[in-house]
Structure 1
Amino acid sequence: MLVSIVYMSRAVEPFDDAAMTELLRGSRFRNEALGVSGLLVAKDGRFMQLLEGPAISVDDRFTAIAQDPRHHEVTSLIREDIERRRFDGWSMAYRGLDDADLAAEDGFSPFLSGTSDFPRSFDRTSAAWLLKWFRDRELRDV
């Protein structure tokens, strides 16, 4: 059985480009080993992530994330059973990187720039709505 979790959290310390790249690389390595895929978006010191894969693996990753001292206020927003994956591999969107950085780093996505959208099969789901809400809102005072 495959499941999907969407959560939101707040960074304890600001993440610069180097820290985001390091986070992405470590996450990709662990997630690939566990068969977990998804999307992580970060802006204004907040994260929203969709994790998907086998239930035991997704629950393991979410538990580890909730205990990670680099962020707090980890809040699960959606947990649902899914029939198939909606992301072929790990992706991360991050505001502030220029196009050269995006092209150079495997796994980054232009989702936050608004130039990328979801496949039709995923676009009308609650998870897609939450990710778009996160992308389109100013979150500093939320």
Structure 2
Amino acid sequence: MTILVRLIYASKVAPNFGPMDMREILQKSRHNNIESGITGLLVMSDGYFFQALEGDRMAVHTTYAKIMRDARHSRSVVLSASEIEKRHFTDWSMGYVLSTEKNRPLFMSYSADKYFEPLSMRAQAAESLLVEIGQHARQIGGTESLT
């Protein structure tokens, strides 16, 4: 029996991170996530990655373990890990949204400061923000890409 889980984490982006790194992450993650039955959404804002991974418990935890070993991430914090009945991001093997001037108010609506700082978010706020970002991305025609 498959136990479906959602893991939400945030991490600092490495200082030398560039556009080619993002392309590589998205390409590799989308391929691996399809193979593993994982869905999710990756957000990048203010020097942070903020991500939800959904799928089989073992697959999600294996994927997160790989992320923790990736030098492009540091100070990774699990904000939420729970069993779920259904997925929020069923249509994306790895959706991607970059914070822009257009969507910035949404990010900031969950911030107590003038900067987006996901490492200190509570579990419910983290999930709510990712769901809202996903809904916003669907309304404008899907997640933004770097291609």
* TM-score, normalisation: structure 1: 0.68
Find the partner of 2:80 among 78, 81, 92: 78
Of 9, 17, 40 in structure 1, the residue corresponding to residue 19 of structure 2 is 17
Aligned pairs for 1:1-142 within 5 A: 1-88=3-90, 89=92, 90-95=94-99, 114=106, 126=124, 127-131=126-130
Q: Distance in 2 between the 1:92 and 1:112 partners?
A: 15
Rounded Cα–Cα distance in structure 2 between residues aligned with 1:65 and 1:39:
14
Q: Which aligned runs of 4 or more in structure 1 are off by greater than 3 angstroms?
A: 110-114, 130-134
Q: Give the CA deviation at 1:129.
A: 2.6
Task: Give the equivalent residue in structure 2 for 1:138.
Answer: none
Q: Give the secondary-structure state (helix, strand or coil) at the position aligned to 1:15.
A: coil
Q: Identical aligned pairs, as a percentage?
A: 32
Q: Deviations over 1:103-127 (max 9, x none)?
A: xxxxxxx86674xxxxxxxxxx924
Task: Kindly provide the CA deviation profile for residues 76-125 of structure 1, in whole angstroms up to 9, marking residues without a partner as x.
Answer: 010010011111222010135xxxxxxxxxxxxx86674xxxxxxxxxx9
Distance in 1, matches of 2:20 and 2:96, equals 14
Q: How far 1:14 sits from its partner (Å)?
A: 4.2
Tell me the number of residue pairs that the alignment of Structure 1 and Structure 2 aligns: 112
Does structure 1 conserve the Cα–Cα contact (< 8 Å) formed by 2:17 and 2:72? no
Structure 2: runs of 5 or more not aligned: 107-122, 134-147
How far did 1:15 drift? Answer: 3.1
**TM-score under structure 2 length normalisation:** 0.66
The answer as to whether partners of 2:88 and 2:131 remain within 8 angstroms in 1 is no
Give the CA RMSD over aligned residues.
2.8
